[in-house]
Amino acid sequence: MEFNKSKLLQVVKKQLAIDMNCNIEDFTKESIVFCEAKLNEGRRMFNRQSPFLEIATMGKSTVVSADSDILTKVRPLLETKAREDIFVAPFIFGHSLNYIPDFNRIKKLTPPDGFTFHIIEGKEIHELYKNPGFENALQYDSNHPCPDAIAIYATYGSEIAGVAGASTDSSLMWQIGIDVIPKFRNKGLATSLVSNLAIIIMEKEVVPYYAAASSNISSQAVAYRSGFTPTWMCSYRNTFDGNAPYDCDIKIKF
**229 neighbors 210 (Cβ within 8 angstroms):** no
d(CA 184, CA 163): 12
Model confidence over 171-209: pLDDT tens digits? 999 999 999 999 999 999 999 999 999 999 999 999 999
> Which structural domains are found in the chain, ordered by start?
5-94 (no CATH), 116-211 (3.40.630.30)
Mean pLDDT in residue range 49-55 = 94
Residue 146 has pLDDT above 60, yes or no: yes
Mean pLDDT in residue range 62-69 = 97
Sign for the pseudo-dihedral over CA of 34, 173, 165, 59 = negative
Number of helical (H) and strand (E) elements in the chain, helices listed first: 5, 10
pLDDT for the residue numbered 2: 80
Model confidence over 149-177: pLDDT tens digits? 999 999 999 999 999 999 999 999 999 99
Model confidence over 11-39: pLDDT tens digits? 999 999 999 999 999 999 999 999 999 99
